[in-house]
Amino acid sequence: MRLRDPEAMNDLVSYLLRSGVLLSSGIITLGAVLALAKYGSLSTSAFFVYLPNQIPHGTFNVSFSGILSGLAILDPFSIIELGVVVLLATPVARVLLSVFLFAAEGDRLYVYVTIVVLALLLFGILVTPLIPLFNA
């Protein structure tokens, strides 16, 4: 892998996107099949209860520890959420790799531009959920 070759970097971005998409769709398919087997003949109304006065608003796990313990017992919804997390990671990984892609092309200006975008993105994903202002 020659990191200084823009063509090779472009192939790497394409390869990474394909792997991320395939991995996430594989995990979600597994979760969906298990959900169909377990809940397929139940009414959807039980799963679509929206609780406006509490966080989280849904009746399913959103914490990482909750998802991890769900995975251990093959809980369909925890498996689906793991797949969603992998999917959410693909745009971040793409921006991260673009930093190296522009570096390989020797384009300093766009290395900086991309680092700014990456910083904003990570701030949005990791920091804003912790700020009460964003959680009303």
Partner 1 sequence: MLAVEFILIMFLASILAGAIGAIVGLGGGFVVIPVLTIGLGVDIHFAIGASIVSIIATSSGAAVTYVKDKLTNMRLGMFLEIATTSGAIAGAAISAYTNSMVLEIVFGAALLISLVPLVMKIGEDIPPIPELRGLAKRLSLKGSYKELDGSQINYNATRPGLGLVGMVAAGMISGLLGIGSGSFKVLSMDLAMKLPMKVSSTTSNFMIGVTAAASAGIYYARGDVNPLIVAPVTLGILIGAFIGTRILLRTRNPVVRKLFAVVLALTAIEMVLRAFGL
Of 62, 116, 122, 55, whose CA–CA distance to 93 is shortest? Answer: 122
Check residue 104 for interaction with partner 1 (CB under 8 A). Answer: no
Shortest approach of partner 1 to residue 75 CB, angstroms?
10
Look up residue 78 and give its two tokens: 């925890």
Cis omega (within 30 of 0) on the bond before 132? no
Determine, following the binding rule CB under 8 A, whether residue 50 of this chain makes contact with partner 1: yes
Say which DSSP state 81 is in.
Answer: H
* Whole-number Å distance between alpha carbons of 82 and 88: 10
Site for partner 1 (CB under 8 A): which residue of 23, 66, 71, 87?
87
- 42 forms part of the interface with partner 1 (CB under 8 A): yes
Min dist. Cβ of residue 49 to partner 1 (A): 9
Examine residue 73 and tell whether it contacts partner 1 (CB under 8 A): no
How far is residue 58's CA from residue 82's CA, in Å, rounded to a whole number? 17
Given a contact cutoff of 8 angstroms between Cβ atoms, the answer to whether 34 and 76 are in contact is yes
Q: What does the binding site for partner 1 look like in residue numbers (CB under 8 A)?
A: 10, 13-14, 17-18, 20-21, 24-25, 28-29, 31-32, 35-36, 39-45, 47-48, 50, 55-58, 60, 62, 76-77, 80-81, 83-84, 87-88, 90-92, 94-95, 98, 101, 107, 109-110, 113-114, 116-117, 120-121, 123-126, 128-129, 131, 133-136
